[in-house]
Amino acid sequence: MSRPQNPRPLLSHLLVWCVAACLVAGSLGGLALADDRLYEATVTVENRDRPARQAGFERAFEKVLVKLSGDRQVLEDPRVEDLRGQAGRYVQRFRYVDVPDDGVGLEVRFDGAALERLLTDQGLPLWGAQRPGVMIWLGAVHDGRRVILGGEEGRSLMEELERVAEARGIQLIFPVMDLEDRAAVDFADLAGGFHEPVLRASERYSARYVAAVHLQPRGDAWSGRWRLLGQDLREDVRAEGPTVEDVLDEGLQSLVDVLGRRLAIAGLLPGDDHVQVIVDGINDMEDYQRVREYLSGLSVVAELRPYQVEPERAVFVTRLRGSPRDLERGVSLGRVLEPSETGADTPEPGTLARVNLRLSR
C-alpha cells in the first residue's frame, strides 16, 4: 500500500518586494514540506555507556512516534509498549552533542520509511510529512506591556513556541503586525475571545488553521486560553502552569494533539473509499470485540482497522464497498449499532469522511 499524499497545490515562485511581503508570502498555504527532522530527536543521557545509550534510544523513539502520529496519547497505546524495546533496530545513526547544564545529549536519527511502515502495519495513526501550518494570534502581558506576538513583539515567546512546534513537526505562522494587522486585531479581541476579527485578519496569510490565544498571570502562576479554528473545527484548550513557558508548551502541545487526531487518520489508509467510523457507548473489551466483529461482517465493509480507543469510544478506519450512507443503512438493519444524531460528516480536503455510530442497548 503506498503512502498517502495529501493533495496540495505547489506554491508558485513569489517576488520578494519587501520584508513584510516576504513574511506573508512565505506563509501562503501554511504547508510544511517533507523534512528529515520528523525522524530525529535529541535526549539527555546519563553517560556514554551502552545501557544509557539504549535508554536514550527508547526515549528518542517515543518523541519521534509522537511527532509522526500527531498525538501524545499514542504512547499510552499497548502496541507501543511492545515496540519500545525494538527502538535500536530503527536507529539509522546517532551522535553525542552538548546540551545545557553540562549534560550529555544524544541525537538520534531513525529510519523514516521503516518507522512509517511500522506504524501502518500496527494500525497506528500516521501523520504525513506535508502538514498545514498553524497561524498563531497570541495576546499576552510581556515585559509589563500588552502585546500581540508578531514582528519583533514578544520574540522570546515566539522562540519558545517554535521550539515546541519543531518537536512536534509543525510549522507556525505569526502575523507580521504591520499597520494592516494592527488595524484588524487588537488585544481586546484575543482577551475577549472574539475570533471573527482574527479569522478575517488571517485570510491574507492563507492559513487553513488559526489559533487565537490569550495568556494572563494569575497570582504566582500563568493561565492560557487557546482556541483552534479551521473550517468546521473549533476546539478550546486551557493550560495553566507556574511559568509562561509551561503554559506555552502545554497549550501548543494540546492544540497539536487535536490537529493530529483530525489529520493523521488520512495518512493511515488513502483513498476515497476509506471512512473513519466512530462508535460511542463502548464500556469494556467485550463491547469493543462485539463491535469490531459486527463491522467486519458487514458486506459494505471491505477492510477494517482499529485506530483509537478512548473512554466509552472506539475509532476504526474502514475501506468501504459503497458510501458512508451505505454503511449507515447497513448498520440500521441490525441490532448491534445505530447511527448517532450527528450521522455521517462531509470531509474537508485531505481528511477522511466520518460516520458516527453508537452501540445499541
Query: pTM of this prediction?
Result: 0.67
pLDDT band with cut points at 50, 70 and 90 for residue 20: very low
Question: Which of 106-120, 189-203, 293-307 shows the highest mean pLDDT?
Answer: 189-203
Tell me phi and psi for residue 140, to 5 degrees. Answer: -155, 160
Q: Is the pLDDT of residue 5 over 60?
A: no
**What is the model's pLDDT at position 235?**
94
**What is the model's pLDDT at position 3?**
40
Q: With b meaning 16 or more CB within 10 Å and e meaning fewer, what string describes 297-332?
A: ebebbeebbbbbbeeeebbbbbebeebbebbbebbe
Q: Is the pLDDT of residue 10 over 60?
A: no
- Calpha distance 331→341 (Å, rounded): 14
Q: Is the pLDDT of residue 24 over 70?
A: no
- Calpha distance 309→292 (Å, rounded): 12
**What is the model's pLDDT at position 128?**
75
What mean pLDDT is reported for the chain? 84
Residues in the chain: 361
First and final C-alpha spacing in the chain: 37
**What is the model's pLDDT at position 35?**
64
pLDDT band with cut points at 50, 70 and 90 for residue 271: low
Instruction: Give the mean pLDDT of 179-193.
Output: 96
Instruction: Give the mean pLDDT of 73-100.
Output: 92
Q: Is the pLDDT of residue 278 over 90?
A: yes
Instruction: Give the mean pLDDT of 223-252.
Output: 94
pLDDT tens digits along 140-157: 988 788 999 999 888 999
- Calpha distance 127→108 (Å, rounded): 20
**What is the model's pLDDT at position 46?**
93
- Calpha distance 154→215 (Å, rounded): 12
**CB atoms near residue 346 (< 10 Å):** 8
Q: Is the pLDDT of residue 288 over 70?
A: yes
Instruction: Give the mean pLDDT of 166-177.
Output: 96
Helices (H), the chain: 19-26, 50-69, 78-84, 112-121, 155-168, 179-184, 187-192, 196-202, 244-263, 285-297, 324-332
- Calpha distance 220→148 (Å, rounded): 22
Strand ranges inside 205-324, DSSP E: 209-218, 221-230, 233-241, 274-282, 301-310, 312-320
Residue 235, CA distances (Å) to 190, 225, 229, 230 in order: 15, 11, 7, 9
The residue type of 237 is: V
Instruction: Give the mean pLDDT of 117-136.
Output: 84
Q: Is the pLDDT of residue 47 over 70?
A: yes
Least confident of 34-43, 56-65, 193-202: 34-43
**CB atoms near residue 17 (< 10 Å):** 9
Least confident of 5-9, 130-134, 264-268, 315-319: 5-9
Instruction: Give the mean pLDDT of 87-99.
Output: 95
**What is the model's pLDDT at position 303?**
83
Q: Is 42 helix (H, G, I), strand (E, B) or coil?
A: strand
